[in-house]
């Protein structure tokens, strides 16, 4: 049994993996640190210049002092010119390294999620997955600037300032550093609570994102059933929970900032108090005290930033944990190391003792045996839940069988590369999935390299060219998210044209006409008849009129094949399920 990792171990593990994405950009980070150190060190010249002016130049107002003053001021102006250049390059290189790291991480996460099995999306809300790829990754980005670049610059600055203070007056330096242990104690004490709150905040944001995505996707249903108030209550409850957690985090952060703010003010007070007594005793000059006090302001700034770093790290590490949780989710459908690429298949399909069940549920298919010869049109009929849609999802390996095997042209589909297998299959579903963009861009999903002539030929074959030609920009018309600017029949014909372009030997039609009006249905049927020619096809349909010309009708019930044969043969079986289906549909038509 694998022991679960403790929180610190989990953080360390996530951090090491994140550093793997940072490492390729270490030259940019090193450059940013170098320029940052220069940027931070340049201002150190100013307090020392004040000391020189007060202690050396002001008491002696001769020509020599004037020359030294002009030279000193000119040198400071030149130094701050260097400061400006260093500031630019520090900011640019740090930004490049941070954004490029996040670019690489987001792309890697996207590609990983792309490879996930459909079961992953069955368990996860889409909005929650998107939240990991946007909000969490953006939070992790802060780590590059805060942990690497700012920390290195602050430590360098601290080292130089402490050395200067010790050189100027060791006793006063000890007084100024007396508050440092208090900074460390406060940081350590609050760190664990802040990290826990940060993780909870990220999780709650994911839930809110998932809820909003789900509600906006189904806004028409919410409005149709006047459930706006109920939906709003749900969002409000989640938002209130998130607010309470955020305020808990704000309370801890405010406590940390308030405590460090007090210490930042206390240090200079103690130094001024002790420093004045040193001046009165003659052990310290006024110029040295002024310079010391100037350096003191610079000392506490990086100390406070390092304390605040814990707040940033807590948020970033919590985000990293959640990002790598997704990376650690392994696709259930995986390609075998020795998988072979398949050329164009003939299209013979065979199911041998195929069993399938979703996780934690009863089997949907049980010991199904079926042979579909190449070029055959097979219709799948049966009540809801009989396993029809599940069966066709097994063919392109959206899910893997839990028992038995499926072969394509005699080869187990698990022995084929996923790309070459899915290249053999084209899908036209009841609700075709179209994407934001133009009609042409959606058609090219079928064949990205298609010529304009091929594009138009596919549209003509699908009876889509006529309505496309009537649109304002023709093939360049934007169709909106999920094709909302097209009618149901138009979307279906675009989907069929896309399938024509793909020209796959196996075709899956999942109730492609059930949601269409009579006129659109006739056009789509004629387009589908053209598409079926010379292909192996599996058609799921409730309307028997759409499958009466199928070469074979397969009747499923309870996850098993209960009848099989041609349409005319199955109608002769007086007690058969298919016959009862046909009689029920005929009765419905006569009643209407």
User: Is 1 inside any structural domain?
Assistant: no
User: Is 228 inside any structural domain?
Assistant: yes
Interstrand relation of 552-557 and 536-540 (parallel, antiparallel or unpaired): unpaired
Provide DSSP, 134-152.
Answer: IIIHHHHHHHIIIIIIIHH
Instruction: Mark whether 499 and 459 lie in a shared domain.
Output: yes
Last residue of some domain: 299, 327, 355? Answer: 327
Instruction: Mark whether 576 and 539 lie in a shared domain.
Output: yes
User: Is 447 inside any structural domain?
Assistant: yes
CA dist 483 and 298 (Å) reads 59
The domain that contains 570 carries what CATH number? 3.40.50.300
Instruction: Mark whether 487 and 524 lie in a shared domain.
Output: no
User: Is 7 inside any structural domain?
Assistant: no
Instruction: Mark whether 384 and 441 lie in a shared domain.
Output: no
Instruction: Mark whether 394 and 497 lie in a shared domain.
Output: no
Q: Mention every residue, 6+ apart, whose C-beta is less than 8 A from residue 451.
A: none
User: Is 250 inside any structural domain?
Assistant: yes
Last residue of some domain: 503, 538, 556? Answer: 503
User: Is 338 inside any structural domain?
Assistant: no
User: Is 570 inside any structural domain?
Assistant: yes
What are the per-10-residue average pLDDT scores of the chain (592 residues)?
Answer: 46 79 88 86 81 75 75 85 89 86 88 81 74 78 71 80 82 78 72 73 77 74 74 85 83 76 76 80 79 77 71 76 84 87 91 88 89 91 84 90 92 92 86 84 87 88 85 86 81 86 87 65 76 86 75 89 86 78 62 46
Instruction: Mark whether 379 and 521 lie in a shared domain.
Output: yes
Residue 2: the pLDDT is 33
From residue 257, give the alpha-carbon distance in Å to each of 179, 183, 263: 15, 10, 10
- Count structural domains, the chain: 3
Last residue of some domain: 265, 300, 327? Answer: 327
The domain that contains 62 carries what CATH number? 1.20.1560.10
Tokens of 334: 């995986």
CA dist 186 and 183 (Å) reads 5
Instruction: Mark whether 80 and 225 lie in a shared domain.
Output: yes
Instruction: Mark whether 455 and 575 lie in a shared domain.
Output: no
Q: Is the pTM of this model over 0.75?
A: no
- Long-range Cβ pairs for the range 275-283 (8 Å, 24+): 275/172, 278/169, 278/171, 278/172, 283/169
pLDDT 10s digits, 149-166? 777 777 888 888 888 888
Instruction: Mark whether 293 and 254 lie in a shared domain.
Output: yes
Residue 11: the pLDDT is 56
What domain range is 498 assigned to? 432-503
Residue 514: the pLDDT is 61
Instruction: Mark whether 87 and 158 lie in a shared domain.
Output: yes
Report the SS3 class of residue 209. helix
Residue 10: the pLDDT is 57
User: Is 576 inside any structural domain?
Assistant: yes
Instruction: Mark whether 288 and 191 lie in a shared domain.
Output: yes
Instruction: Mark whether 576 and 523 lie in a shared domain.
Output: yes
Residue 556 main-chain phi, psi, to 5 deg = -105, 145
Residue 26 main-chain phi, psi, to 5 deg = -65, -30
Task: Name the residue with tokens 């600037």.
Answer: 145
Residue 5: the pLDDT is 47
């Amino acid at each position: 049994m694998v022991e679960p990792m403790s929180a610190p171990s989990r953080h360390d593990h996530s951090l090491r993996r994140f550093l793997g994405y940072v490492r390729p950009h270490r030259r940019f980070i090193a450059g940013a640190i170098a320029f940052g150190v220069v940027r931070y060190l340049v201002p150190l010249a100013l307090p020392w210049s004040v000391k020189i002016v007060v202690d050396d130049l002001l008491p002696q107002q001769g020509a020599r002092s004037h020359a030294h003053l002009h030279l000193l001021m000119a040198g400071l102006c030149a130094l701050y010119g260097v400061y400006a250049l260093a500031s630019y390059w520090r900011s640019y290189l740090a930004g490049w390294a941070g954004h490029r790291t996040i670019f690489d991480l987001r792309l890697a996460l996207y590609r990983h999620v792309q490879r996930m099995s459909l079961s992953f999306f069955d368990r996860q809300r889409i909005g929650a997955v998107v939240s990991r790829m946007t909000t969490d990754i953006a939070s992790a980005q802060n780590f590059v600037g805060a942990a690497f670049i700012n920390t290195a610059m602050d430590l360098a600055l601290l080292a130089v300032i402490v050395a200067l203070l010790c050189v100027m007056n060791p006793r006063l330096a000890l007084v100024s550093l007396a508050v440092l242990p208090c900074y460390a104690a406060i940081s350590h004490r609050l760190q664990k609570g802040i990290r826990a709150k940060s993780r909870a905040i990220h999780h709650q944001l994911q839930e809110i994102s998932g809820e909003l995505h789900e509600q906006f996707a189904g806004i028409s249903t919410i409005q149709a059933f006047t459930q706006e108030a109920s939906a709003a209550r749900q969002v409000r409850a989640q938002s209130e929970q998130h607010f309470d957690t955020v305020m808990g985090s704000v309370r801890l952060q405010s406590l940390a900032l308030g405590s460090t703010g007090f210490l930042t003010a206390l240090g200079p007070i103690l130094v001024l108090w002790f420093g004045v007594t040193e001046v009165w005793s003659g052990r310290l000059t006024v110029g040295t005290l002024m310079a010391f006090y100037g350096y003191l302001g610079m000392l506490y700034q990086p100390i406070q930033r390092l304390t605040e770093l814990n707040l940033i790290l807590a948020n970033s590490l919590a985000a990293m944990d959640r990002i790598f949780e997704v990376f650690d989710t392994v696709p259930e459908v995986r390609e075998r190391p020795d998988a072979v690429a398949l050329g164009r298949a003939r299209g013979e399909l065979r199911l041998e003792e195929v069993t399938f069940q979703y996780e934690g549920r009863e089997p949907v298919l049980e010991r199904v045996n079926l042979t579909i010869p190449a070029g055959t049109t097979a219709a799948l009929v049966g009540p809801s839940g009989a396993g029809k849609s599940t069966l066709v999802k097994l063919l392109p390996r959206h899910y893997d069988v839990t028992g038995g095997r499926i072969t394509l042209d005699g080869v187990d589909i698990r022995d084929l590369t996923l790309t070459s297998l899915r290249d053999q299959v084209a899908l036209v579903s009841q609700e075709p999935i179209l994407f934001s963009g133009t009609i042409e861009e959606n058609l090219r999903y079928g064949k990205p390299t298609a010529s304009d002539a091929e594009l138009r030929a596919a549209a003509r074959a699908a009876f889509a060219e006529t309505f496309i030609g009537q649109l304002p920009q023709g093939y360049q018309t934007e169709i909106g998210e999920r094709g909302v600017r097209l009618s149901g029949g138009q979307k279906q014909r675009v989907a069929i044209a896309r399938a024509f372009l793909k020209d796959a030997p196996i075709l899956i039609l999942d109730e492609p006409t059930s949601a269409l009006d009579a006129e659109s249905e006739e056009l789509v049927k004629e387009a589908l008849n053209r598409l079926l020619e010379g292909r192996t096809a599996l058609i799921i349909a409730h309307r028997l009129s759409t499958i009466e010309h199928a070469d074979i009708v397969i009747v499923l019930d309870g996850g098993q094949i209960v009848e099989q044969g041609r349409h005319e043969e199955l109608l002769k079986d007086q007690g058969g399920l298919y016959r009862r289906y046909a009689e029920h549909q005929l009765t419905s038509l006569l009643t209407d």
